[in-house]
Structure formats: structure tokens, C-alpha cells
Amino acid sequence: MKIEHCISNSTKQELLRLSQKLKRTTVDKQRALVTSEYYADNIAKIRLMSKRELVKYIGKTKAKKENKLALKIAHSTHSAKVYRMLNTEVKYDMELINYARNRLYAQV
């Protein structure tokens, strides 16, 4: 019997979260303290993605309703005041899209 069949899904999620925390560098730990766990975890995930996975990630993140609205607000002329009123997770998603796009087009 495989061990993955004996462990519940919640325990698997906790083990994955713990392994991500153990793999973090000091910069990632500082980023998590300054911004949030959500942002730091996604930055670490983006770093490990291939070019195809980055394209899928950007498309999936842009497809969320709140992110579509944020993109429209960001591209409008009087956007600064409204953009500051957005949810922090949406702002982080915008930054993560830009980070993923920069990683995608970077010359290696």
C-alpha cells in the first residue's frame, strides 16, 4: 500500500506547505515578512516554472475577473487613485504577472 493513499488531503497540503517553507532562501523569507506569504510563495513557484508553464500561469492569472478589472484600471488614464483602492491580493497578482512576463522574455 502506498503512503500517499494513507495520508489525507489536508495532511498532504500541510506537508507541501512545510516543504516550501524549508526550501525558502533568506530573501524569500524576508519577502514573506515584508509583503505576504501569498506573494513569496508565488514568486518561488514562478522561478521554478518552464516557459510553457509561465505562459499558462499568465493566462490563468489574467483570466480571473478581478484581475481583468485591475488590468483595465491600470491601463486607464486616471488610474492611480482607483488602483490604490484595490485589494492587496489583486495588486500582488498584477506584480506577479509582470514578474512572470519578465522571466518569460528574459534571455538565458
Nearest CA-CA partner of 38 in 103, 105, 101, 95: 95
> Distances from the Cα of 78 to the Cαs of 49, 73, 74, 93, in angstroms?
35, 8, 9, 20
Q: For residue 55, what are the domain limits?
A: 3-105
* pTM for this model (two decimals): 0.74
Query: Residue 99: pLDDT band by 50, 70, 90 thresholds?
Result: very high
pLDDT over threshold 80, residue 108 = no
How many distinct structural domains can be found in the chain?
Answer: 1
Specify the pLDDT at position 46.
92
Q: Cell 489583486 sits at which residue?
A: 90
- Who contacts 57 (Cβ-Cβ below 8 Å, separation ≥6)? 46, 49, 100
CB 45 within 8 A of CB 99: no
CB 82 within 8 A of CB 73: yes
Query: How far out from the chain centre does Cα 34 lie?
Result: 15
Specify the pLDDT at position 1.
65
